[in-house]
Amino acid sequence: MEIRPYRIDVAPSVLDDLNRRLDATRWPAQLEDAGWDYGANLDYIRALCAYWRNGYDWRAHEAAINAHPQFLCEVDGVDIHFIHVRGKGSNPFPLVLIHGWPGSIVEFLDLIGPLTDPAAYGADPANSFDLVIPALPGFGFGGKPRDRGWGITRIAAAFDTLMSEALGYQRYGVQGGDWGGITAAKMGSAHAGHVAAIHLNFVIAQPPPGDLTAEEQAHAAKAAAFQAQETGYSNVQGTRPDSLTLAQSDSPAGLAAWIIEKFRVWSDCDGDVEKAFTRDALLTNLMFYWAPNSAASAARIYYEARNDATSFRYPKVEVPTGVAAFPKEPWNAPRRWAEQRYNIQHWTEMPAGGHFAAMERPKLLLDDIRAFFKTIR
């Protein structure tokens, strides 16, 4: 199983084409008082696209990402793109960090240094990690699946193969949110022979039988309202993704509108997306969809997971599980519900932060990862 060195190198023609398409965007009209009620606010998306065209420097961010060792490895017919940074110290613990949609490996860039070289950041040098940060198949600059069936079961198996066979880690931890959290849970259930523990900032579970507390009833009502109002994207991508992503692959403004709206709604930003993320961070993440033309292959994870009966069905995760519960994470279940599905050994109620925890509150997530895996090493 060959591991090949890799560097991101977007062709100048791709950047020229991006600029041409941004210049030629045909903007629709929007109701004067629409705000974000109808979806993406076009005034904001226009301003972001103007900065994308005239102010954003992809080459600077590309160089920063390329400062980290990156590789490709073909697993189950698909090239997995991953960052692999070995930790400093005598016994770094292997840890996989897995992103979700509409994120990318960009989410974890601020964690690489502190997790692999804690001494350089004023932390205990014995608490270092060997980090592996893979792109989900079809996302970013990795390979695009050419056949059906790349649901969570297959992704979890591919990542375990990458870790245990290609990289030789027979015992490792997994951390994730969104699809990364779902994949981490699946790995902890299906590949417990290798997975020592999982850490989640996205934990889904059904309510237990019997009466719910008043607090749990309020949570259930809030979750139902969110599901009814905010999950149309999931139904589209889970049933007819290619009808949507043809347009997103043709229009950078359309892609930005679809993705940035989620960053705003799912984060702890009080309605102002730039309170949680810089414009450069938002656009660098967008470039992982635009430059490699991966919007379509990434969105299909919803279709494949929906049509994989085993994606969300598995026995209780018995490996030790840590949870960082961020208050504006829309999907997190209460601890009592989660304990039915996971072997919860660590649970932290965070003071702030939302769905994109590694980007929004990297220090909080970092400290929690360190604290939990310190009990696992």
Is the pLDDT confidence value at 85 over 90? yes
pLDDT band at 89 (very low <50, low <70, confident <90, very high): confident
User: Residue 313 has what pLDDT?
Assistant: 80
Q: Which domain holds residue 326?
A: 3-27+37-374
- Residue in 297, 301, 281 with CA at minimum distance from that of residue 289: 297
Q: Which of 295, 276, 278, 237 is nearest to 104 (CA)?
A: 295
Query: For the whole prediction, is pTM greater than 0.75?
Result: yes
Instruction: Indicate the pLDDT class of residue 312, thresholds 50, 70 and 90.
Output: confident
Residue 45 lies in a domain: yes
**From residue 243, how far is each of 228, 305, 306 by CA, in Å?**
22, 18, 17
Domain containing 153 — which CATH number?
3.40.50.1820
359 located within any domain: yes
How far from chain centre, in Å, is Cα 128? Answer: 22
**Cis bond upstream, residue 12 (ω within 30):** no
Residue 102 lies in a domain: yes
Asked whether residue 32 is assigned to any structural domain, the reply reads: no
Token duo for residue 247: 């347009």
d(C-alpha 133, C-alpha 70), whole Å: 9
What is the model's pLDDT at position 1?
A: 85
Q: Which residues are catalytic?
A: 178, 302, 355
On whether residue 181 sits in a domain, the answer given is: yes
Q: Domain count of the chain?
A: 1
Mean pLDDT across 280-294: 98
Measured between alpha carbons, how far is 202 from 144 in angstroms, rounded to an integer?
A: 25
